[in-house]
Amino acid sequence: MARKKIALIGSGMIGGTLAHLAAKKEMGDIVLFDIAEGMPQGKALDLSQCGPVEGFDAKITGSNDYADIAGADVVIVTAGVPRKPGMSRDDLLGINLKVMKAVGEGIKNNCPDAFVICITNPLDAMVWALREFSGLPHNKVVGMAGVLDSARFATFLAWEFDVSVKDVNAFVLGGHGDTMVPVTSYTTVNGIPVNDFAKIKGVDQGRIDEIVDRTRKGGGEIVGLLGNGSAYYAPATSAIAMAEAYLGDQKRILPCASYVEGKYGLDGLYVGVPTVIGAGGTEEVIEIELSDEEKSNLKVSTDAVEELLEACKGLDSSLA
């Protein structure tokens, strides 16, 4: 069987980390793409030289030419600029929308059969725009955010309860912004609903609310600490989990920014929802029962995404 081809559009900190993870897991041969000359080539060379030490066998190349992503099975898009301390993800909309246009055309012209995972912010709007610009089917274009947001929520809960992160199954819905919806009613500690577990551990509701708030602002917390750039290890590992689900036809249920039409009362929007990922791409959006409060929180979050889509249409008439 021919090796799989993984194209990484954007060779910054997330792109480099993605390449390292994909190589270590021998997911396939890797093309690092960037418009900055020398950068993807340099990273590809450096990463290739990890192979003999780490014992992986993957061909890693760097390129500034979209033709080199031809025939890719998976494309992971991190191109664009990250926010700086004090900025919101939404402040990146204008600049990153232009980047998504170039990337979408590059994908359309070179690997229209790929499964495309977008990480660029503001995520829910950028994945929508990337899908529009590339013209790929909706089930083959998805955004990475829910796996990351749920991982943050799980980490903070595990620290609070002093239990293994492996036993916390956290659940986050909605847009990848400060209005995202960590859903405690579907969050469990080894099957025990988190609110019951909190009582067992003597953790009060106020503390859980603080953890929910920290999760919502989790990306900004790291941007503030780094001072220059945003998180890259956890975003990269989250996207790799999604790529593996696709390549291995794993049918994993992962929270992702998927195209939702009809479910959750939504009509043609990319937003974070539990999604089955297998060989068909995003094969199914799972609709869960929500309380009235959860529904109204989700509405606030999806309204914020809708506003960004309107802004995209205002900036680029081909999207209107």
- Does 179 appear as a known binding residue? no
By DSSP bridging, strand 141-143 and strand 115-118 are parallel
131, 140, 176, 216: the catalytic one is: 176
Q: What angle do CA 266, 267, 270 make, to 5 degrees?
A: 80
Residue 60, both tokens: 């890693």
Indicate the residue among 120 and 188 with the shorter CB distance to ligand LMR.
Answer: 120
Identify each DSSP E strand in 104-174 by its residue range.
115-118, 141-143, 168-169, 172-173
Considering the complex, what minimum distance in angstroms separates the CB of residue 245 from ligand LMR?
20
Considering the complex, what minimum distance in angstroms separates the CB of residue 216 from ligand LMR?
10
Indicate the residue among 101 and 176 with the shorter CB distance to ligand LMR.
Answer: 176
- Does 27 appear as a known binding residue? no
Active site annotation includes 176: yes
- Does 89 appear as a known binding residue? yes
Q: How far is CA 202 from CA 171, 175, 191, 198, 215, in A?
A: 22, 31, 18, 6, 21
Beta-bridge partners for 254 = 275
Considering the complex, what minimum distance in angstroms separates the CB of residue 146 from ligand LMR?
11
Indicate the residue among 58 and 172 with the shorter CB distance to ligand LMR.
Answer: 172
Which residues make up the interface to ligand LMR (CB under 6 A)? 82-83, 89, 121, 148, 176, 219-220, 222-223, 230-231, 235
The sheet with strand 188-189 has its strands ordered as 168-169, 188-189, 192-193
- Is residue 112 reached through a cis peptide bond, with omega within 30 degrees of 0 on the bond before it? no
* Known binding-site positions for NAD(+): 10-15, 34, 96, 119-121
* Known binding-site positions: 10-15, 34, 83, 89, 96, 119-121, 152
Active centre residues (catalytic): 176
* Known binding-site positions for substrate: 83, 89, 121, 152
